[in-house]
Amino acid sequence: MLDEVKVIELKQNVFKKNEVTADKVRDHLKNHKIYMINVMSSPGSGKTTTLVRTIKELQPEIRIGVLECDIDASVDAKTIVSAGARSIQLHTGGMCHMDAEMTQQGLDEMGIEDLDLIFIENIGNLVCPAEFDTGAHINISILSVPEGDDKPAKYPLMYEVSDIILINKIDAKAVFDFDDDKVVKDIHELNPKAKVFFLSSKTGEGFDTWTDWLKETVKEWKL
């Protein structure tokens, strides 16, 4: 009798709807030659600081918009607008992640005309955001040195779905035990194709490895 317990996989049903919307969002942007990047991390890893420095290095050649997603605060969108990009603040009202429908709503409200590159700054959380396709063309996750090099082992899905991992706050390395080789090895075991960049969004150290890659990618996307 115990072997006959019925098991229902809810995933397919619930996630399929989201994937259909995500593909629609992705194709629509592609048709307009706009590249969209979903940025994920724990709270405090430096998502906003990284975006601000990226915007300053890429504008005005590359025109940038940012969907700033937060449970209920509105400070990040103001910071992004100060840096010179277009931005709107999305309040998820307690939701722990963005999904494709929420992204669609954000894009409609922000307006995508005259943009080359859009960032989604996702909710600060290493679990739930990794589950949901936002409709972005690539996923980036930021791991800051003070968080520790064990994060890929502890949150494997986040690293499986991330195309690029930015190891941030390398200027703080002297005071933290952070094993670069171990973290790269752990990431590549989960996701052999992932690109890993080491940088400091505060000092700018190593930052051009990331922005060079990004400029090149956006240029190719426009062709």
- The footprint of its own copies (CB under 8 A) covers 1-2, 5-15, 74, 77-78, 81-82, 87-96, 99, 101-102, 105-106, 109-110, 127-128, 131, 157
Decide whether 9 or 220 has the Cβ nearer to its own copies: 9
Decide whether 77 or 136 has the Cβ nearer to its own copies: 77
Decide whether 102 or 196 has the Cβ nearer to its own copies: 102
Q: Among positive and negative, which fits the CA dihedral 6, 11, 16, 21? A: positive
In the complex, least distance from residue 64 CB atom to its own copies, rounded to whole angstroms: 15
Which DSSP state fits 209? H
Decide whether 25 or 214 has the Cβ nearer to its own copies: 25
Under DSSP, is residue 16 helix (H, G, I), strand (E, B) or coil? helix
In the complex, least distance from residue 133 CB atom to its own copies, rounded to whole angstroms: 12
In the complex, least distance from residue 76 CB atom to its own copies, rounded to whole angstroms: 9
Q: Among positive and negative, which fits the CA dihedral 118, 122, 78, 104? A: positive
Q: Report yes or no: 125 and 47 within 8 Å, Cβ to Cβ.
A: no
CA distance 180 to 114: 39
